[in-house]
């Protein structure tokens, strides 16, 4: 196995009696775009702070390029952090802001200016060198902060919810730009967010955190299509969750009794074992359609038009505690109060570990 760029080993951290990280281990490969995704309080920002050297962990180690950096201060480790509030110096020009880290390293003024211009060109702001931060938009200031971080050529760039202060349109534009810049420079990015869409748009390595632990990690396509746990299935996108119990087990297939009827799936769980099953909204079929697994009937409680599709909420007639979350075509004729059949294909049903 190749040596990872970043190797987080058994990291735990407490603030007083509160455990915010619980035995977290993670490997970050060179050139990867890793997203730490989770709700408030999941530990993702604390983990980023430990990686950046702003917090010393209560237990465990952080290795970067094979070197133990656990107690190395921020200025002496091969990382740079981009903060949500940009942290630009208002009295300095954009060029001076970008060159500040080089100045702290003792780089001469001419070299600083040349490298700052190169970094600003990289983020599409070559003409902003002599401006002051207050003359720029939020998105432009975010790019200046990115240029300032990249100019010192860190091994790892840490981004703490860098798009959180931007409006939706600008945030999506900056997602595209961040991904393009990361591919051009080849630096490993580790980016904290609670936005699932942002994670899927940017990451090639997605790490889902909850309650100080890693719930799931892998390529975003796998984490979305085959989440490892119930939490991952409901946080990385929406899911309809069915509670079931194995009623029969024969020749590598299980019959699972749920509130909507029986479902046949591959597997060998013991008879009587409880299972949680997840179905993504795009895999639920409302009304007539090709499917092999009936989920009964339901009453539509809400329909929300979302441009390319309609988000439909419907309550199961067989299991009143079950709410289906489905995506219907934008052209679908469906409204609150409608009674509909609900089905899916067994191959789209996800068996969850917890």
Please compute Rg for the chain using Cα positions: 24
Q: Which of 209, 235, 231, 236 is nearest to 220 (CA)?
A: 236
Phi, psi of 226 (to 5 degrees): -135, 65
Q: What pLDDT, on the 0 to 100 scale, is given for residue 1?
A: 57
CA dihedral 225, 228, 230, 233 (to 10 degrees): -20
Fold of 6-230: Rossmann fold (3.40.50)
Query: Which of 20-29, 35-44, 168-177 is least confident?
Result: 168-177
Sequence spans of domains, the chain: 6-230, 240-352
Q: What is the pTM of this model?
A: 0.88
| pLDDT tens digits along 87-99 | 889 999 999 999 9
Computed over every residue of the chain, the mean pLDDT equals 92
Per-residue b/e over 33-66, b at no fewer than 16 CB within 10 Å? bbbbbbeeebbbbbbbbbbbbebebeebebbbee
- Predicted confidence band at 60 (pLDDT cuts at 50, 70, 90)? very high
Q: What pLDDT, on the 0 to 100 scale, is given for residue 124?
A: 86
Mean pLDDT of all residues in 328-352:
94
| pLDDT tens digits along 214-255 | 999 999 999 999 999 999 999 998 999 999 999 988 888 999
| pLDDT tens digits along 153-205 | 899 999 998 887 777 888 888 888 889 889 988 999 999 999 998 999 999 99
Residue percentage of the chain with pLDDT more than 90: 73
**Correct CATH for 240-352 of 2.40.50.140, 3.30.460.80, 2.60.40.1170, 1.10.10.10:** 2.40.50.140
Q: What pLDDT, on the 0 to 100 scale, is given for residue 142?
A: 85
**In the predicted structure, residue 114 carries a pLDDT above the cut 70:** yes
């Amino acid at each position: 196995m190749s040596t990872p760029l970043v190797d987080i080993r058994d990291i735990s951290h407490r603030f007083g009696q509160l455990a915010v990280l619980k035995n977290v281990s993670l490997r970050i490969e060179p050139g990867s775009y890793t997203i730490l995704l989770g709700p408030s309080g999941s530990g993702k920002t604390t983990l980023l702070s430990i990686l950046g050297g702003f917090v010393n962990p209560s237990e465990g180690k952080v290795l970067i390029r094979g070197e133990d950096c656990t107690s190395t201060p921020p200025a002496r480790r091969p990382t740079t952090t981009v903060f949500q509030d940009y942290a630009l110096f208002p009295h300095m020009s954009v060029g001076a802001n970008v060159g500040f880290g080089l100045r702290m390293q003792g780089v001469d003024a001419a070299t600083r200016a040349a490298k700052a211009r190169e970094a600003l060109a990289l983020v599409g702001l070559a003409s902003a060198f002599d401006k002051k931060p207050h003359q720029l938009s939020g998105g432009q200031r975010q790019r200046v902060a990115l240029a300032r971080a990249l100019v010192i050529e860190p091994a790892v760039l840490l981004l703490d919810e860098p798009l959180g202060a931007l409006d939706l349109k600008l945030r999506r534009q900056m997602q595209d730009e961040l991904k393009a810049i990361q591919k051009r420079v080849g630096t490993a990015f580790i980016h904290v967010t609670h936005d699932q869409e942002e994670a899927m748009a940017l990451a090639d390595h997605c790490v889902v955190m909850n309650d100080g632990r890693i719930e799931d990690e892998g390529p975003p396509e796998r984490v979305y299509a085959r989440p490892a746990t119930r939490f991952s299935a409901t946080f990385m996108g929406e899911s309809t969750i069915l509670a079931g119990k194995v009623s029969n087990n024969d020749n590598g297939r299980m019959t699972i009794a749920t509130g909507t009827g029986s479902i046949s799936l591959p597997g060998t769980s013991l008879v009587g074992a409880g299972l949680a099953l997840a179905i993504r909204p795009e895999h639920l079929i409302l009304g007539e359609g090709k499917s092999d697994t009936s989920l009964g009937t339901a009453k539509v409680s809400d329909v929300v038009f979302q441009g390319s599709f309609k988000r439909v909420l419907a309550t199961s007639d067989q299991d009143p505690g079950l709410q289906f979350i489905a995506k219907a075509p934008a052209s679908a004729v469906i409204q609150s109060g409608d009674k509909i059949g609900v089905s899916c294909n067994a191959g789209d049903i996800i068996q969850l570990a917890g």
